A and B are shown apart, each in its own frame.
Chain A
Amino acid sequence: MKDRVVCYFSAAQSEQPIIYRLVKNYDLIFNILKADINPQKEGYLVVELEGNRESYQEGIAFLRSLGVVVEPLSETVVWQEDICIQCGACASFCPTQALDIDRDSMQVSFDNSRCVVCGMCLDCCPTRAIQLHFDLREAAV
């Protein structure tokens, strides 16, 4: 199985070679998407973990046993209206019409509640006005 999670570390935990143990003892493939870890400080790690179901669950249990808070990653698509030039190139790629064009004004709008975070819009925006944000606890950001 494969999933993206956010791991929150305390200052003491960030001193330990946690990722090393995840790889060595649980045979998990990991891809760090975002991280902010500093010695003697709280930190977080956004990571994609992949492995067979059993070792995945054992690996997560291991993290929790160390006191690391593990939460499923929630992502949000952010449309930066001030950067958007209203070309509309994104809308035909959006499967849920979260990004939509008003056909009278040709004005682009974004309805976050319809967005399924498929990420199709990220590549087709020439101004890169659309970004993927990882939702993190305030304390960690």
Chain B
Amino acid sequence: MGYEKTYEEINEKIRKGEAVVVTAEEIMDVVGEIGYEKAVRQVDVVTTGTFGPMCSSGAFLNFGHSRPRIKMKRVHLNGVEAYTGIAAVDAYIGAAQLPATDPENKVYPGRFSYGGSHVIHDLVAGKEIRLEAEAYGTDCYPNKKVDTVITLGDLNEAILFNPRNAYQNYNCAVNLGDRTLYTYMGILKPNLGNASYSTAGQLSPLLNDPYYKTIGVGTRIFLGGGIGYVAWNGTQHHPNVLRGENGVPMTPAGTLAVIGDLKQMDPDWLVGLSYIGYGATMAVGIGIPIPILNEEILRYTMVRDEDIFCPIVDFFEGYPYSKPIDLGYANVRDLKSGKITVNGKEVVTTPQSSYPRARKIAALLKEWIRSGRFELTRPVAALPSADANIEFKSIPERSPNGMNGRNRRDS
């Protein structure tokens, strides 16, 4: 058995200020210089980072009570509705939620200038937010209306909880059609006019730990400029897909559900986005430390852009209508060069995920760990990995005839 290090040993070094921490870019030079055998002993932590649009994000908020008390039935924050089907003054504001007054795509392509993600950004920035709540009134909660102004500091709790973030690998989107498409991958020009991609590549957290050997439930992470945790696998987590020899999935695969205290986050790392013709979404900053427990884990962190392949997907018919159109793969190194070749044609590339910001997150997390501010956690449970047997399901097509009221208690 080769050299092994424990979480406890690494944390002990962090506490003493002796931990050797490098980013997922820097580790390549380190190993290049001193080789695996020395590097596995010398390096304690490799930091990763990603900063891209992640629609499946949002925050649980507790407003505290009005006088008299209220059981909120509908809540609007700056005109954007938050979900209230939970306790009296709890609500969940989703990043992709739009105000009822948004013209959407009625004038195509819509602008989607302000949505839930912008509310979250404004909250984190300490801005004043209009809170409107309506209720039907009960004996215990008689109030029927609240219309006031709040800030993040006025809330009891604000908990960022994102059900699906940090997708492990992602599609590269193109348009085989003859008209411009407005998608969640940005504007796609007709006739293979551009190829849009969204990955932090060699800095991406789950591409540096492809089998989730160190990233699991309870892993402490950089989240939105603060400290957060991996809560669970994300929705649509699908680890049992085709993988390369390096373990890197050849399609979108693993995902993470993450959680953290919004009150200690930073508006630089949770940014509201408006995708023309598509909707609102949020750029979320995530950085995950990878403890170098052994050489196997070190080897995974050596993943380079050229080792990562994204499936090329047509968004004219292929994606929206689930038509299998094989366009091959795009290499992340080529995507970052600005040009790839698709169907023999040279196509310019359009990034959606910010590589400079991903790099900054990896550097910030490195600094936090070096300064002793951030210790590593051993996962309390593993995420389903490549040996799982997860079926990627779609909505079944069944007739609802005769269902009326069948599952209701009063029927």
Task: Please provide the chain B residues from 351 to 390 with a CB less than 8 Å away from any CB of chain A in the complex.
Answer: 351-357
**Chain B residues with CB below 8 A from A88, complex form:** 350-351, 354-355
CA distance A123 to B187 in the complex (A): 8
Partner of A126, one of B53, B109, B336, B356: B53
Please determine whether B336 and A128 come into contact, CB atoms closer than 8 angstroms. Answer: no
Instruction: Give the size of the chain B interface in residues (CB under 8 angstroms).
Output: 30
**Chain A residues with CB below 8 A from B196, complex form:** 89
Q: Which residue of B lies closest to A82 (CB)?
A: B268
Q: Which residue of B lies closest to A123 (CB)?
A: B276
Task: Please provide the chain A residues from 85 to 123 with a CB less than 8 Å away from any CB of chain B in the complex.
Answer: 85-89, 91-93, 101, 103, 105-108, 123
**Chain A residues with CB below 8 A from B338, complex form:** 91-92, 101, 103
Please determine whether A87 and B351 come into contact, CB atoms closer than 8 angstroms. Answer: yes
Given contacts A101-B338, A123-B276, A127-B271, contact A89 B186 (CB under 8 A): yes
Please determine whether B283 and A85 come into contact, CB atoms closer than 8 angstroms. Answer: yes
Q: Does B194 have its Cβ within 8 Å of any Cβ on chain A?
A: yes
Q: Does B52 have its Cβ within 8 Å of any Cβ on chain A?
A: yes
Partner of B276, one of A103, A124, A127: A124
CA distance A11 to B53 in the complex (A): 49
CA distance A124 to B183 in the complex (A): 11
**Chain A residues with CB below 8 A from B343, complex form:** none
Partner of B348, one of A92, A106, A107, A126: A92
Q: Does B51 have its Cβ within 8 Å of any Cβ on chain A?
A: yes
Please determine whether B337 and A87 come into contact, CB atoms closer than 8 angstroms. Answer: no
Q: Which residue of B lies closest to A107 (CB)?
A: B356
Given contacts A106-B336, A123-B276, A124-B276, contact A86 B187 (CB under 8 A): no
**Chain B residues with CB below 8 A from A107, complex form:** 356
Instruction: Give the size of the chain A interface in residues (CB under 8 angstroms).
Output: 19
Q: Which residue of A lies closest to B187 (CB)?
A: A124
Please determine whether A124 and B356 come into contact, CB atoms closer than 8 angstroms. Answer: no
Please determine whether A87 and B187 come into contact, CB atoms closer than 8 angstroms. Answer: no
CA distance A128 to B113 in the complex (A): 9
CA distance A92 to B271 in the complex (A): 22
Partner of A106, one of B276, B350, B351: B351
Please determine whether B52 and A126 come into contact, CB atoms closer than 8 angstroms. Answer: no
**Chain B residues with CB below 8 A from A91, complex form:** 338, 350
Task: Please provide the chain B residues from 150 to 207 with a CB less than 8 Å away from any CB of chain A in the complex.
Answer: 186-187, 194, 196
Q: For the complex formed, measure the closest distance between the CB of A50 and the CB atoms of chain B, giving whole angstroms.
A: 21
Q: For the complex formed, measure the closest distance between the CB of A26 and the CB atoms of chain B, giving whole angstroms.
A: 30
Q: Which residue of A lies closest to B272 (CB)?
A: A127
Given contacts A89-B351, A124-B187, A126-B186, contact A105 B273 (CB under 8 A): no
Q: Does B274 have its Cβ within 8 Å of any Cβ on chain A?
A: yes
**Chain B residues with CB below 8 A from A123, complex form:** 109, 187, 276
Q: For the complex formed, measure the closest distance between the CB of B121 and the CB atoms of chain A, giving whole angstroms.
A: 10
Please determine whether A85 and B351 come into contact, CB atoms closer than 8 angstroms. Answer: no
Q: Which residue of A lies closest to B198 (CB)?
A: A87
**Chain A residues with CB below 8 A from B352, complex form:** 87, 89, 126
**Chain B residues with CB below 8 A from A89, complex form:** 186, 196, 350-352
**Chain B residues with CB below 8 A from A126, complex form:** 53, 186, 273-275, 281, 283, 352
CA distance A88 to B354 in the complex (A): 7
CA distance A110 to B244 in the complex (A): 38
Contact with A along B266-291 (1 / 0, CB 8 A): 00000111111000010100000000
Q: Does B251 have its Cβ within 8 Å of any Cβ on chain A?
A: no
Q: Does B255 have its Cβ within 8 Å of any Cβ on chain A?
A: no
Q: Does B11 have its Cβ within 8 Å of any Cβ on chain A?
A: no
Q: Does B48 have its Cβ within 8 Å of any Cβ on chain A?
A: no
**Chain A residues with CB below 8 A from B276, complex form:** 123-124
Q: For the complex formed, measure the closest distance between the CB of A105 and the CB atoms of chain B, giving whole angstroms.
A: 6
Q: Does B349 have its Cβ within 8 Å of any Cβ on chain A?
A: yes
Please determine whether A86 and B337 come into contact, CB atoms closer than 8 angstroms. Answer: no
CA distance A128 to B114 in the complex (A): 11
Given contacts A106-B351, A123-B276, contact A85 B357 (CB under 8 A): yes
Please determine whether A103 and B356 come into contact, CB atoms closer than 8 angstroms. Answer: no
Given contacts A86-B356, A124-B187, contact A92 B51 (CB under 8 A): no
CA distance A92 to B52 in the complex (A): 18
Please determine whether B187 and A85 come into contact, CB atoms closer than 8 angstroms. Answer: no
Q: What are 25 A-to-B residue pairs whose CB atoms are below 8 Å?
A: A85-B51, A85-B354, A86-B355, A86-B356, A87-B52, A87-B283, A87-B351, A88-B351, A88-B354, A89-B186, A89-B350, A89-B351, A92-B338, A92-B349, A93-B187, A101-B351, A103-B336, A106-B351, A108-B356, A123-B109, A126-B53, A126-B186, A126-B283, A126-B352, A127-B272
Binding site for A on B (CB under 8 A): 51-53, 109, 113, 186-187, 194, 196, 271-276, 281, 283, 336-338, 348-357
User: Known pairs A85-B51, A92-B194. 4 more at Cβ < 8 A?
Assistant: A91-B338, A103-B336, A126-B53, A126-B281
Binding site for B on A (CB under 8 A): 85-89, 91-93, 101, 103, 105-108, 123-124, 126-128
